[in-house]
Amino acid sequence: MSKMNFLNTAVDNITMDQAISAIDNLILIRENSYIVTPNVDHIVRIESDTEFREIYDNASLVLTDGQPLIWISKLLKTPIVEKVSGSDLFPKVCELAALKGYTMYFLGAAEGVADIAAAKLKKIYPGLKVVETYSPSFGFEKDALEAERIIKKVIDAQPDILVLALGTPKQEKFYYKYRTQFNVPLVLAVGASIDFVAGNIKRAPKWVSSYGFEWLYRLCKEPRRLFRRYIIDDMKIFRIVWKYRKRKYLNEDIN
């Protein structure tokens, strides 16, 4: 699939429906594909984190998450057609899985949260098969034995889709480090989406999200955890936009 250069990365400039179709194809070809959904925080991180940049460079699908990035794309006269956030994509993938008989594995969230989410999703999408859920121990990404345990669990379950809800950049870096061992047709990094479905964390109302203020809603809900990310780190996006504003190839596609 062709990608469009956008700021310091390249995105798949497609709609939600096109993304679901592409995901279906990726599952069928079974080539260890993985999907990332950049928001402002991710773009800021890509600028200084070479490992994170490499993960994005090699992703099978890069789907734009966040209304602010949509605004920026229009400002730069390279409009992205639609916001495809991880939190909106996740239930759509569950619907696809239920229709096609694909199996899913939920990795992440606090103990028991993924089970609650799975139960709710099974009621919404009859036939959905969540083969297993697992909440890794704290510091799992630095624990070789825990990593080995996680990989074995996923391999034994043989899911078609592995859903990572471990937080950025942990989820992306953890999978990328062990990607050749997992052998899963499709991996989807969704952050807090499982918490949203379970009701463990309340997501912003749709009208708030449509106006681009979901970040503010979350900041008000979790100020201590998110203050630095949203108020300090993410302000670097303005410098990044200024830096890439005149790149001549912004309107070109990458084949």
**Chain-centre distance of CA 51, in angstroms?**
16
Question: For 76-121, what is each residue's pLDDT tens digit?
Answer: 888 999 999 888 899 999 999 999 999 999 998 888 899 999 999 9
Token pair in block for residue 176: 């990328």
DSSP 45: H
Measured distance CA(116)–CA(121) in Å, rounded: 9
- pLDDT score, position 248: 45
Give the chain's end-to-end CA distance (angstroms, integer). Answer: 7
- pLDDT score, position 255: 38
- pLDDT score, position 249: 46
- pLDDT score, position 210: 66
Residue type, 12: D
**Can you list the residues of the chain whose pLDDT is less than 50?**
248-255
- pLDDT score, position 149: 92
- pTM for the structure as a whole: 0.85
Owner of token pair 């080995």? 148
Measured distance CA(122)–CA(130) in Å, rounded: 8
Token pair in block for residue 205: 């109302």
